[in-house]
Structure 1
């Protein structure tokens, strides 16, 4: 294929993607701290009076379902989205074609299911090079929050919460239901302050493997999500 042909193909793909996004019903995620937009590396004060700066915020959303008031349901099957605060485009997910029907609920998983975790080498948002995969024994990291706080008596005052696990009794994927009662794009807020409010950073500042602590904080993580 000639260089001119490659350029033409590139722009056709761009136009097709733009058109699809423009005509799509989207689920948009907005990451906040105490309901204000979260900026990486900016200092905030938590409800526990900890000074914190978030350096990394990444998580998986999978198998989104749109439930309409007329009882019909649109389901994404085996679709996994990696959302990364460093990549704002990743926080906007085109789901299906726009329509005028009232949406009653949006349901999604926070994390990766056990079947996908055991499916071998994967690509796209599930590519291990994305930095969200431990190893075959532990599987994917569902949610990764990293940052710094003087409250952490660790190297460089860092904290790291890598939440995951796909084997019982430490199956860390969580399901979230958001009540909507409206039409058009769905805007979901994620308040990191809610997560940190339930952590004593001086005592708990590093969770890097599946286990009870990861399970407990996975439960806490569901509280961050709300309808904006």
Structure 2
């Protein structure tokens, strides 16, 4: 191996070590997709409280503006935090926030979706890249949460349901803020996302498609807050 090649290998190992250390020293936020408090599986058949048999093929959701509040009232905010959770990408459910400490965490705050300022900034990179399938157009902005699948209750083409929840213009501003009480020390905060709660609010025979901002999207955005809980 040439000297140049050796230098490249050492540089790679050094960067990997620094990256691993930064992860190990950080407080992690770990989301777990559930259905009625049990681990969720894509394409598995489930039954809702409305007796609808369904399978979910796609779940995507933006988590943004994460804040950790400690018992001394200090607050850590992750700046420019826009994380896309995707059921097809297991690694997308966990992210690292700030350095660990011995303080008691009292509350966790985050938004479901993308704020209006970011929406008006136009399509961006990273998790906000339009190729992620979560961007309508500049008039409608980002989709905050996407849930797609099938149910025999749906009278739609191929029995499909499609819920694309978003909107950043008044009166259809669909971003929602979640506040969760924690009250303990932690190196990792585990948060459940229970899709059972989402379908408990729906009659799929009547409501199986939301594809634009509007009144129904606002209702579904309200429902989405009930999905999140501390495990």
Q: Which residue, out of 168, 175, 179, partners 1:166?
A: 168
Q: Which runs of 5+ in 2 are unaligned?
A: none
Distance 2:92 2:40 in 1: 15
Alpha-carbon distance, 1:27 to partner: 1.0
Alpha-carbon distance, 1:202 to partner: 0.5
SS of the residue aligned with 2:23?
helix
Q: How does 1:169-208 map onto structure 2 within 5 Å? A: 169-184=171-186, 185-208=188-211
Q: Once the two structures are superposed, what CA deviation does each residue of 1:25-52 show, in whole Å capped at 9, x if it has no partner?
A: 0111111000001100111111111111
Q: Once the two structures are superposed, what CA deviation does each residue of 1:123-157 show, in whole Å capped at 9, x if it has no partner?
A: 01100111100000000000000111111111211
Which residue does the alignment assign to 1:227?
Answer: 230
Q: Once the two structures are superposed, what CA deviation does each residue of 1:157-184 show, in whole Å capped at 9, x if it has no partner?
A: 1101000000000000000000000111
Distance 2:129 2:13 in 1: 26
Distance 1:186 1:128 in 2: 29
Distance 2:51 2:9 in 1: 54
Alpha-carbon distance, 1:55 to partner: 0.4
Which residue does the alignment assign to 2:31?
Answer: 29
The alignment of Structure 1 onto Structure 2 pairs a total of residues equal to: 228
Gap change, CA 1:70 and 1:9, over 3 Å in 2:
same
Distance 2:223 2:62 in 1: 16
Which residue does the alignment assign to 1:76?
Answer: 78
Which residue does the alignment assign to 1:150?
Answer: 152
Distance 2:174 2:34 in 1: 23
Q: Which residue, out of 197, 210, 217, partners 1:214?
A: 217
Which residue does the alignment assign to 2:136?
Answer: 134
Gap change, CA 1:154 and 1:104, over 3 Å in 2:
same
Q: Once the two structures are superposed, what CA deviation does each residue of 1:48-98 show, in whole Å capped at 9, x if it has no partner?
A: 111111100110000100000011110112211111122121111100011
Q: How does 1:58-137 map onto structure 2 within 5 Å? A: 58-137=60-139
Over the aligned positions, Cα root-mean-square deviation in angstroms equals: 1.5
Tell which structure's C-alpha radius of gyration is larger.
2
